[in-house]
Amino acid sequence: MRIFVLGNASRPGVPEEAERLLPFLSERCQVVVFDLRGATELPAATADLALVLGGDGAILRAARQMGYRQTPVLGVNLGKLGFLADLTPEQLRQAWPRVLQGEYRVTQHLMFECVVETPERKDTYLGLNDVTVHAGPPFHMIELELLVDGQVVATVSGDGLIIATPVGSTAHSLSAGGPIVGQELPAFAITPISPHSLTMRPVVDSADKVYTIVPRRLSVGSALVIDGQDALPLTPAHRVTVRRAPVSFGLVKVPGHNYYQTLRDKLRWGTGPNYRTEQSHGG
């Protein structure tokens, strides 16, 4: 098996764990790329899977680093939540013989292209989680026009707007009151941030549609943020379009790990309150 070993060297513990894992991995497979700083142009290399060390941010960066030539990712959580990276280093060592035998499945997930246009230029960004337009200092209410397939469908007044993939639905969108969307669904979640209207609610719609955000009124520090990693100043001259990317993100799932288990373990979804039992003391 040929693998990439990727990660976030700036996260405490990642370089040390990578050095501990490297001899273990090198004895059992071919490490094609070892890169913890995002410096390697991955589309020029090929592998069977990418082992990503760190947290969900490291996986987002790896997905963007692989660009339009995606390799299935197996995440090792060395952070806090680790919603996508759900294996510990010890669990990885235990599961690795089965991985080498092909005893895993790869789930495919929606990626997006975010096209940012002004009269002078046009840039396209590949992403996995979400596109967010939000107000900045001095945090006055902003106004955004949302178009779906070229038709105006809403004017959003508030702190901003999030367009999230199913993978991104459990990130910023969820914190803003958006829905949890099944990770393998071909859909986008559209979530307003603190809307100035009780009737403005999140919507889930098809990934086959094209979503465009046109700023109508912005505060001075308003910004466009892509996957929480690219932050671009936003002006009324901008036009932001989100559409399905021509590639998908592959996530390696080993036996014993599934989506609903991750929801329960990481977000406590569907679990009852943890009441503390008071013990009576006789006297």
Active site residues: 56
Which two three-digit tokens encode residue 229? 């990693």
Alpha-carbon span 187 to 192, nearest angstrom: 16
CA-nearest of 203, 207, 38 to 110 is 207
Decide: helix, strand or coil at residue 10.
coil
CB 84 within 8 A of CB 58: no
Alpha-carbon span 257 to 252, nearest angstrom: 10
- Residues near 132 by beta carbon (within 8 Å), at least 6 away in sequence: 160, 161, 162, 163, 172, 193, 224, 225, 226
CB 144 within 8 A of CB 215: yes
What strands lie across the sheet with 230-233, from one edge to the other? Answer: 203-206, 187-193, 160-164, 130-134, 223-226, 230-233
